[in-house]
Structure 1
């Protein structure tokens, strides 16, 4: 009888996507450091209440160019791990969809904060394509409304002031409890409830590896802390895990 293959859970944050040209939020050069007022553009209350906030938010999305971003070596390393090694589940705080674009099966990626590749009407809940909405902004609509009901269009993400989808959160908790190795990559581990996932994994007996440019609250509890750039450090870690059989 074959032994059970160890489950690897990988929690990814903004740091894995910075080399794809998508800025992080809380790092030394992060968006909140450069422009603290930008946080209201992704906060649900001001977004729904103030047309000017929405206009600024649409301009931010257009200028960020996130939809054109390409996966980098860190994303591709996780694809290599998934294809060559033990069972892998990626829990991501990112909304850029780059794990799937790199080649990870969508069923193995849990998007904790939703996706910025789609929009949703705040009134009738119809879902649409973000690229189509941005094309309307390019065409001169500063705050495009829902074509179905005229309601406010918003990204299909979890904005500040909103709770995570409880179904998604239960799935993330179950993965953290079941995993044998938990790897936190490019995340400050300060945003709750995602920040509790490493603790759940530790309580279940999993090993913990933290890979982040800045210190995190879990560094002392981790079996290994890696400070090197993610695009080189994550491929190296994947090679090590495959060599050692995780």
Structure 2
């Protein structure tokens, strides 16, 4: 018998359980310090050297970059090892699912990721850790890739993390892929998302319309609670490992 396939939509709540402060909640970073939203403002980043330097420095010093996965992240690795994880669609850009050990091909970073970066000119890919390591020497990082068609001169394009900044499009195909996976899955689990941010939240009604059973695990209520077959309002760091353990045992 084929194993149950579960798609998981994760939001800030899974990362607050690992020590990353919420951005949008009542005590969120942006709620209390709206000026810090400029860290992720694409227009400022493109046009203002000081804004770029601040953006890079802020990201390097932020809990988002320095956090380690928590028990809830490792539980999803167990779900994958059991062959029951179809996809993680995450609204978080902290790369903690990758750090925990989930396969990159099982993760869709709906809002991008801080784990990787790119050149905005030649589109070369970078590991963000390499850029962070030399940030003191180069506070406004540029691309050092040598271009054969330009006489081996360095590209010198701006480097930017793969986080989706305000004013940027979501990664191409990310939503479509996630919605298709949700409609085909045996279950959808929503973990730690308020389901207030679109288009990510639209995965839930799409799954419901396809008749997919939905579990919502979140400390507060969401606008789609009425679509859920199971609501869990417990501490995610405890409740998700328990849910994964029970689900694997039932198979």
Q: Structure 1: 5+ residue runs without aligned partners?
A: none
Of 119, 122, 132, the residue aligned with 2:120 is 122
Change (3 A) 1:85 1:153: closer
- In the alignment, the residues of structure 2 paired with residue 155 and residue 166 of structure 1 have an alpha-carbon distance, to the nearest angstrom, of 16
- In the alignment, the residues of structure 1 paired with residue 248 and residue 116 of structure 2 have an alpha-carbon distance, to the nearest angstrom, of 35
What's 2:28 paired with?
A: 30
- In the alignment, the residues of structure 2 paired with residue 41 and residue 22 of structure 1 have an alpha-carbon distance, to the nearest angstrom, of 17
Name the SS for the 2:114 alignment partner. strand
- In the alignment, the residues of structure 2 paired with residue 144 and residue 239 of structure 1 have an alpha-carbon distance, to the nearest angstrom, of 44
Q: Does 2:101 align with 1:103?
A: yes
- In the alignment, the residues of structure 2 paired with residue 66 and residue 39 of structure 1 have an alpha-carbon distance, to the nearest angstrom, of 14
RMSD: 1.9
Q: Does 2:241 align with 1:235?
A: yes
What's 2:144 paired with?
A: 147
What's 2:80 paired with?
A: 82
Alpha-carbon distance, 1:47 to partner: 1.9
Q: Which moved more, 1:30-39 or 1:77-86?
A: 77-86
CA contact (8 A) 2:21 2:63 kept: no
Q: Does 2:226 align with 1:220?
A: yes
CA contact (8 A) 1:81 1:88 kept: no
TM-score (norm 2): 0.88
Name the SS for the 1:114 alignment partner. coil
Q: Structure 2: 5+ residue runs without aligned partners?
A: 146-154
- In the alignment, the residues of structure 2 paired with residue 70 and residue 233 of structure 1 have an alpha-carbon distance, to the nearest angstrom, of 19
TM-score (norm 1): 0.90
Q: How many residues align?
A: 242
Alpha-carbon distance, 1:175 to partner: 0.2
Alpha-carbon distance, 1:129 to partner: 2.0
Q: Does 2:8 align with 1:13?
A: no
Name the SS for the 2:108 alignment partner. strand
